[in-house]
Amino acid sequence: MKEFQPTDYTLINVADGREMADAGWMLEDLQSPVASLLRARYAKRRIEVGPESMGVYRFADWLPVGRMLKGSAAPVTYKSKGLARHLGLENLYIIFNGWNPEVGAAMTTCSFKETEAYSVCGRLSPDMGRVLVVASAGNTARAFAKVCSDNHIQLLLSVPEDNLDALWFEEPLDECVRLIAPQRGGDYFDAIHLSNLALGSPRFIAEGGAKNVARRDGMGTTVLSAATHIGAIPDYYFQAIGSGTGAIAAWEANMRLLEDGRFGSAKMKLVVSQNAPFLPMYDAWHSGSRELPRYDEQQARADAEAIDAKVLSNRKPPYGIAGGLYDALVDTHGEVAKVANEQARAAAQLFLQTEGVDIHPAPAVALHSLIEEVAAGRVRRDACVALNITGGGEQLFCRGRRLWHLKPSVVFPLDPDPAMVVDACQELF
C-alpha cells in the first residue's frame, strides 16, 4: 500500500461561503458576524475508496486528516433479509457500526463514535503539544479513549458519574488517557460544562463537537459506506439523534456524493428520532422553530435520566446554527420522530430476532421510527432505505471476555470552583 498522504482541503463558512485554509485546528470562523458551522471542501471531488485494510481511512479523500492511526474499522453496509422481510421492504440496507464478524463489522468499541475518534485524532497534529478534551455521555468517550490509548495521544475525558458503566475496555488503558466526572445526578450537559472549565488552562484543547469538521466527516463515512456499497444514494436515511451531528454529517456526505456525480441525484430524506421524554429538537421542529424551546434545567436532567438511550440527551445541540440540523431537515424535507423506551426495547428485540445481533438503545430508537413510517405508508416498499445502526454487537463482543473499566481520577460537584478544576486537571498530566 502506498504511503499515506495528508488530505488536501479548505474550510467553508456555511453562512456566507467564505473559503479559508485550515489553520491547524479551526473550529469556527471568528470573522463571521453570525454563528455558522464550517464545512470541509476537498480537493478530490470524486472519491477513491481505499482497501478494507485501511479501516475508516479508506474514505480519507473526504476526511480532513494528516495521518492514519492504527486500529480503525469502517462502517459496514449490507442488504437486509430478515428485517426487510418482516417490514415488507425490498431494498433495506443496514449500515452496521459495531461488532458482528458475520457481516465483517469490526468496531471493538461497538459504536460508530469510532469513526469520529479516528478522524478527529487523525486531524490533530502530534506537534500541537496539547491535551485533547472530550465530553461525552459514554460511547464517544469509549471510542476516543481506545484511539488515544492505542496511539499514545494525551486525552482528558469528562463523563457523568452516572454513565461510567459505558467505559469498558478489553485491557487497561495507557496513562495518557485520564477521566474526570461530574458527580451523580449530573448529565451530559454537566460533563460539557466541566470540560469547558478545564479548558481554562492553555495546556488543553477542545475537541469541538459538531464544530469540528473531522468529527462530522468521520460520522459521514456511514453514508459513504452505504452509497459506495449500493452504488447509489439512498432515498431515506434513518438515525437517532442526541446532538443531531450525525444527521448533519449524513447530509453533508450526501451533497459531496451529488457533486461526485456517480451516485445519482437523490437527496436522502432524513428521518431522525429522539427518545421520549427528552425531546428538545422534536419539539422545536414540530413547532416550526429554528430555535430550541426553553428547557428547565431540572426537568432536562430528569428527562435525561428517564430515557434508555442516555447518549441522546444533549441539551444544547447544533440545531439552529447555520449549517445545523434545522437546515439539514429543511433541505431534505426531513422529519423528526419521537420514540418511547418500551417501543425502542421492542425494536431492539426485533433486530436481534431478524438480524441475529444485539443493538444499542439509540439505534433501536431509529429502528422503531422506521417501523412507524412503514406502517403509516410514508415509505415506499420499493424505496432504497438506509438504517444507521450506530452501535451494536456489544453483548456479542463482551460475552466471555474479562473487561476493564476506566475510573475517574477526580469526581467534581455539579457547580465546581473553576480554578479548582483547572488545577486538578493540570496535575493529571
Spell out the domain ranges in the chain: 76-110+214-398, 131-202+402-429
Does residue 3 surpass a pLDDT of 80? no
**Structure confidence at residue 6 (pLDDT):** 94
Inter-axis angle of helices 418-427 and 188-198, to 10 degrees? 70
Confidence of residue 23 (pLDDT cuts 50, 70, 90): confident
- Which of 373, 342, 347, 374 lies closest to 360, judged by CA? 347
**The total number of residues written for the chain in this structure:** 429
Mean of pLDDT values over 67-85: 97
**Structure confidence at residue 1 (pLDDT):** 45
Q: 131-202+402-429: which CATH topology?
A: Rossmann fold (3.40.50)
Does residue 189 surpass a pLDDT of 90? no
> 76 burial class (0-12, 13-18, 19+ CB within 10 angstroms)?
buried
**Structure confidence at residue 351 (pLDDT):** 98
Confidence of residue 99 (pLDDT cuts 50, 70, 90): very high
Percent of the chain with pLDDT over 90: 92
**Structure confidence at residue 309 (pLDDT):** 95
Confidence of residue 59 (pLDDT cuts 50, 70, 90): very high
Mean of pLDDT values over 306-331: 95
Please report where in the chains the cell 478527529 appears, as a residue: 120
**Do β-strands 38-42 and 9-13 pair in parallel, antiparallel, or remain unpaired?**
antiparallel
Mean of pLDDT values over 291-305: 93
Contact of 281 with 315, CB cutoff 8 Å: no
Does residue 46 surpass a pLDDT of 50? yes
Confidence of residue 168 (pLDDT cuts 50, 70, 90): very high
Contact of 10 with 21, CB cutoff 8 Å: yes
- The model's pLDDT over 269-280, given as tens digits with 9 standing for 90+, comes to 999 999 999 999
Does residue 366 surpass a pLDDT of 50? yes
CA 180 to chain centre: 21
- Which of 36, 87, 13 lies closest to 355, judged by CA? 87
Contact of 75 with 386, CB cutoff 8 Å: no
Question: Over the range 303-325, which residues count as b (16 or more CB within 10 Å of their CB) and which as e?
Answer: bbeebbbbbbbbbebbbbbbbbb
**Structure confidence at residue 371 (pLDDT):** 98
Domain 76-110+214-398 grouped into CATH 3.40.50.10600: no
- The model's pLDDT over 331-355, given as tens digits with 9 standing for 90+, comes to 999 999 999 999 999 999 999 999 9
309: cell is 438511550
Same fold? 76-110+214-398, 131-202+402-429:
yes
Tell me which of 94-103, 179-188, 390-399, 403-412 is least confident. 179-188
CA 38 to chain centre: 17
| Average pLDDT, rounded, for the chain | 96
Contact of 94 with 363, CB cutoff 8 Å: no
Identity of residue 151: N
Identity of residue 74: A
- What are residue 64's phi and psi, to 5 degrees? -85, 65
Give the C-alpha separation, 291 to 306, whole Å.
24
Mean of pLDDT values over 219-241: 98
Structure letter (DSSP) for residue 195: H
Contact of 392 with 110, CB cutoff 8 Å: yes
Give the C-alpha separation, 154 to 365, whole Å.
34
Does residue 135 surpass a pLDDT of 60? yes
Percent of the chain with pLDDT over 70: 99
Whole-prediction pTM:
0.95
**Do β-strands 168-169 and 404-405 pair in parallel, antiparallel, or remain unpaired?**
antiparallel
Identity of residue 384: C
Question: Over the range 270-286, which residues count as b (16 or more CB within 10 Å of their CB) and which as e?
Answer: bbbbbbbebbbbbebbe
Give the C-alpha separation, 289 to 216, whole Å.
24
CA 189 to chain centre: 16
Residue 323, Ramachandran bin (φ over 0: left; ψ between -120 and 50: alpha; else beta)? left
Give the C-alpha separation, 131 to 319, whole Å.
28
Q: What is the CA radius of gyration of the chain?
A: 20
Omega of the bond leading into 418 within 30 degrees of 0 (cis):
no
**Structure confidence at residue 2 (pLDDT):** 52
- Report the greatest alpha carbon distance in the chain: 59
